[in-house]
Chain A
Amino acid sequence: MAIRIINEKCIGCSLCVKVCPFAALEMVDGKAVIGIGCTACGVCVEKCPVKAIVNEEEQKFGVVNVALYSGVWVYIEQHQGKIKDVAHELLAEGRKLADELNCELSGVLLGKDVRGLCKEVIASGADKVYLVEAEEFANYSTEGHAKAITQLINDHKPSVILMGATPDGRDLGPRIACRVGTGLTADCTSLAVDVEKGLIEWTRPAFGGNIMATILCPNHRPQMGTVRPKVFKRAAQDFSRSGEIIDVQSTVVPTDIRTKLVEIIKVTTAACNLEEAEIIVSGGRGMQAPENFALIKELADVLGGAVGASRAAVDAGWMPQFHQVGQTGKTVGPKIYFACGISGAIQHIAGMSSSDIIVAINKDPEATIFKVADYGIVGDVFEVLPALISEFRKIKEA
Chain B
Amino acid sequence: MNIIVCIKQVPDTTEVKIDPVTNTLIRQGVPSIVNPFDKNAVEAAIQLRELHGGKVTILSMGPPQAKDALKECIVMGADEAVLVSDRAFGGADTLATSYTLAAAIRALGKFDIILCGKQAIDGDTAQVGPEIAEYLNMPQVTYAAKIELVNEKTLRVHREQDDCYEVIEAQMPVMITAVKSLNEPRLGTVWGCVRACRGEIKLLTAADMPVNYDRLGLKGSPTQVRQIFTPEARGLGKIISGIPAAEAAEQLAQMLCKSIG
Residues of A at the B interface (CB closer than 8 Å) are 1-3, 18-21, 23-24, 34-43, 47, 58-62, 142-143, 146, 166-167, 170-171, 173-175, 177-179, 181-187, 201, 205-220, 257-268, 270, 272-276, 321-322, 327-329, 335-336, 345-347, 350, 353, 357-360, 365, 370-380, 383-384, 386-388, 390-392, 395
Contact = CB atoms under 8 A, between A and B. Distances in A.
A275 B30 CA distance: 31
Contacts of A209: 231
Contact of B162 (A167, A177, A360): A167
Contacts, number: 332
Contact of A58 (B121, B127, B219): B219
B85 A262 contact: no
Interface residues of B, number: 99
A219 B224 CA distance: 10
Nearest to B126: A170
B121 A377 contact: no
A266 B238 contact: no
Contacts of A213: 225, 227-228
A37 to B, nearest CB: 6
Nearest to B150: A262
B175 to A, nearest CB: 10
A171 B142 CA distance: 6
Contacts of B13: 207-208, 210, 327, 346-347, 350
A185 B33 CA distance: 24
A395 B253 contact: yes
B173 to A, nearest CB: 10
Nearest to B246: A387
Contact of A258 (B22, B122, B139, B160): B139
Contact of A186 (B22, B124, B141, B228): B124
7 contacts: A3-B91, A35-B90, A40-B218, A146-B134, A178-B98, A360-B237, A390-B249
B252 interface: yes
Contacts of B26: 18
Contacts of B133: 175
Interface stretch (B105-113, B163-171, B194-202): B163-171
A201 B226 contact: yes
Contacts of A43: 24, 228
B183 interface: no
Given A36-B90, A210-B18, A379-B248, A268 B163 contact: yes
A62 B222 contact: yes
